[in-house]
Structures are given as structure tokens and as C-alpha cells.
Structure 1
Amino acid sequence: MRGTVQLRDERVCQQEARAHLPCRHHFVAGLENKPWVFEHEGADVRRCTDALCRAAGFAPKVTFESGDVYLHTKLVSQGLAAAVVPGLSVRPRPDVAYSSLGVVRTIEVSTRAGSETSPVILAVTSALHAASQQ
């Protein structure tokens, strides 16, 4: 017979999704003819990016697809694409312009009840808190 595991959810932080744009751009509108790099079909950030572009009045030209957010930022820094990347995913780069999109996601950590004082769990949640403050 299996027992029921009690979980404890903790909201760690909220983070903003930001547009990663070639340096000369500072907003999503105006990028209707620019190639875009998107996550693969089904990813939440892909649906969000598509909705943001459509709200700006255009259907994005998805030229590249990858789940690798470092590749997204590299393509942007080379002027090959625009992207939307969640805030904690990559560190800011001087060759990429960032634009606030007003889209926030909540990051939560679920742990087994009673394990929240584990050194490993404390280290992970502390690191997430610290990263979200940068």
C-alpha cells in the first residue's frame, strides 16, 4: 500500500520575460520582418512570444527553433534573430538590447513536507532567490 506524500509549495520569485533584440531595436513592434528564434512547439514561452508578437500587430517569422536559450541569445547578438527569453535563463550581454514586455511568470519549488530544511533544498531555493534579485 502506498502512502500519500504531502508536498509543500513555496513561491521563490517572480521573473519577467524580456525580449532579446539586436542592439538597434528596443521594442517588439517594428520587428515584423526580422527573423525570430522560438522554442519548440508546445513550450509556454513559445505561446507567449507568439501572442506578444500578434498583439504588436504581426505574425512572427520563425526562422530558427531551439530549446537552447543560449543559442537564442547568440543568434540575437549576431543580428540573426530576435527572441523572448525568460529572465533567469541567461545573463545580460552588452551586444543584446533588452526590452521589458510586462509578462511575469512565477517560479515555485515543491518539496516533500518536512524536507524544506534540507541543506540541498535550502541551497537551491537560496540560489533562485539570489538570482532573481540580480
Structure 2
Amino acid sequence: MELRVLRLFREVAEGATVTDTATRASVTQPALSRALKRLEHEVGAELFQRSGRALRLTPAGRAFKQHADAVLENYDLGVRAVGELVDPETGVVTLAFLHTLGTWLVPPVLSGFRRRYPRVRFELRQHGEAGLTAELLDGTADLVLTSGDPGDTRITWQRLLVQPLRVAVPPSHRLAKRRQVRLAELAGEPFILLRKGYGLRDTTEALCAQAGFSPIVGFEGDEVETLRGLVTAGLGVALLPLPHTAMFPPSPAEHPAPHLRVSDVVCARDIGIAWPSGRELPPVSESFRQHVLATAPRALPED
């Protein structure tokens, strides 16, 4: 059984036609059909059934594909590991990160690493916390940058820094002239929140509970800067990290939302890096992990 045939099988199994697959592989359609038939003979079962002009996986085909995917993934990881051992200053770092870290933490740690290792490439993905955990457990990411320990024994997490959170209020708000507030003073106010599944949403609800109330949901969004803009527009208040003004400068006509310190509750969140427990990272990813541990604490915006 050849790896090349497994790759062709996977392509057809994922919906490509035999004609298109053969064209991309620079083989004739009859040659590809014969290769798939030989694969079925080796496996001892029909892997495809025809549905019109398309091929669909049989139950045996679906079962076989799971193992074929694992074989190809392990082979590609092995080739990658050997290549990085031969030249550890090249390779690919697969990194997933929390949406809210993409505006201030991820850019400087990536650019600093690329200055040292310009031939290294990155495969980047953004998620909420649940998606980040899945990336690690599925093996599609070597490292993730997230808030808080995932609390899974299959994942190792290390704190990088503690990020302060502030209460953002509209410029015309009754508390806007203050430098600090008690979070309890905002009970009854509409809160602009991230959707369920984001760590900052859970943190906000937990901190409000410590202050003795549940936040009234005024709006739910997917991006911190969207929430900040809606606060500025007067639609509610929010518990947010400090803005990175170098990346998101206010327009001349804009009066940005004041960000007030909180005096009755410790408002902050942990930011950390995580990787799969018990699995040795590829050399280039391990180098990047060490780089992040050394440089991330300096990435916080000034208070």
C-alpha cells in the first residue's frame, strides 16, 4: 500500500471527483480507478459506492478513512520532525490563540521570533477557549495562547502574565469622570458582553457575582474592540482589558470610553500558553514556546 494512493483515496473520500483528483495528481483517470480498486482488494472490502457521477464512502470506507487519516498525519509529522532536527531554524509552528489576544500579544511575540528565525512559518488559528482546547487535543495545534488554565490533565498550561481588566463606560455616563468605581455600582446597568464560550464572558459573570449581582445582558458580540465601540456609543458598560491605543487609535472626533479601575473586586485575568501533556514538541515549536515565555510579559499595554 503506497502513501500516494492513500492520499488519493482521502481526496476522493472527501468529495473530490476521480477526474479532478487524477488531473491534480497528473495521472490518468483509469490509472487512478485501478489504484483505488487495488486498495479495496488489499483492504478486503468495497470502500466506495457510486451515487450518480460521484463516489460515496461505504461504511467500510468510512472506517478505513479514519485510520488512513491517522497514518498520513503521523507520516507528515514524522517528516516534519526529521526536517526540523536537520535544520531546527526552519519548519512550521502551528499556533492557535484567543481572539482577544490578536491585537496586542500575538503580533509582538511572532515578529520577535521571526527576527531570530526568518525561515520559520506559522499556521495561525483564532478561537474561543473551547476551540483552543480542541485544537490541542485534535493535534492540529502545537501551542495555544489563552486565558486561564483549561483544567484538562491532557494539557499543560503555564501562566505568562496577569492582564488587568477595567470597567469601560460611555463618555457621557454618570461615572465617567471617576478614576475608579466599585463594580457593585454597576448593578442594574446593561452590560456589553462576549458570547457564551469566551473566557472573558465567564470572567465577567464571575466577577459580577463576587460583587453581588448578575450582569444584565445588553448585547453579545464576538470581538473585544466591537464591545469597546458599543460602550463608546453609549449602549452599555463592559469589563474589558485596556485598549492597545497604538493599534486602535481613536479618531479625532471620537471620545473614547473611559476605563475605570475597580476597587471592590480584583479584576484581572490570567494569560498563558498551553501544549499537549506528555508529547514532545517539535524543535521549532519548543523554541517558540521558550521565546513566548521570555517575551510575553513585556507585551502588556501600559496602564
When normalised by structure 2's length, the TM-score is 0.35
Question: Which of 79, 86, 91 is 2:244 aligned to?
Answer: 91
8 A contact 2:166–2:259 mirrored in 1: no
Aligned residues: 129
Cα distance change of structure 1 residues 113 and 106 upon mapping to structure 2, 3 Å threshold: farther
Which amino acid in structure 2 is aligned with residue 14 of structure 1? V
User: Is the partner of 1:74 in helix, strand or coil?
Assistant: helix
More strand by share: 1
Whichever residue aligns with residue 12 of structure 1, its letter is L
Pick one of 268, 276, 280 that aligns with 1:104.
Answer: 268
1:17-28 aligned at under 5 Å gives the runs 17-23=165-171, 24-25=174-175, 26-28=181-183
Question: How many angstroms apart in 2 are the aligned matches of 1:49 and 1:20?
Answer: 12
Q: Which has the higher contact order (CA 8 A, sep 6+)?
A: 1
Note the alpha carbon deviations across 1:58-112, whole angstroms, 9 max, x for none. Answer: 222101000210011112222221111245xx32675313224414333223463
- Deviation at residue 123 of structure 1 after TM alignment: 7.3
Corresponding residue for residue 298 of structure 2: 130
Residue identity over aligned pairs, in percent, reads 27
Ranges in structure 2 where 5+ consecutive residues have no aligned partner: 1-70, 79-138, 144-155, 176-180, 251-255, 276-280
CA distance in structure 1 between the aligned counterparts of 2:160 and 2:206, rounded to whole angstroms:
26
Return the offset for 1:20: 1.9
SS of aligned partner of 2:183? coil
- Give the unaligned 5+ runs of structure 1: none
Q: Give 1:69's aligned residue.
A: 224
Code of the residue aligned with 1:122 in structure 2: it is: H
Partner amino acid, structure 2, of 1:129: P
Are the aligned partners of 1:22 and 1:77 in contact in 2 as well (CA < 8 Å)? yes
How far, CA to CA, are the matches of 2:267 and 2:186 in structure 1? Answer: 18
Contact kept in structure 2, 1:29 and 1:53, CA below 8 Å: yes
Matched-pair contact (CA < 8 Å) for 2:244–2:301? no
Query: Is contact 1:72-1:83 (8 Å) kept?
Result: yes
CA contact (8 A) 2:163 2:241 kept: yes
SS of residue in 2 equivalent to 1:75? helix
When residues 124 and 74 of structure 1 are mapped into structure 2, their CA distance, relative to the original with a 3 A threshold, is farther
Instruction: Give the letter for the 2:238 counterpart.
Output: A
Q: What residue identity is the alignment partner of 2:185?
A: G
Give me the CA root mean square deviation.
3.5
Q: Secondary structure at the match of 1:29?
A: helix
Alignment partner, residue 56 of structure 1: 211
Q: Post-superposition shift, 1:32?
A: 2.0
CA distance in structure 1 between the aligned counterparts of 2:292 and 2:203, rounded to whole angstroms: 30
- Taking the aligned partners of 2:223 and 2:167, their CA distance within structure 1 comes to 15
Q: 1:74 to 1:113 in 2, by over 3 A?
A: same
Q: Under a length normalisation based on structure 1, what TM-score does the superposition of the two structures give?
A: 0.69
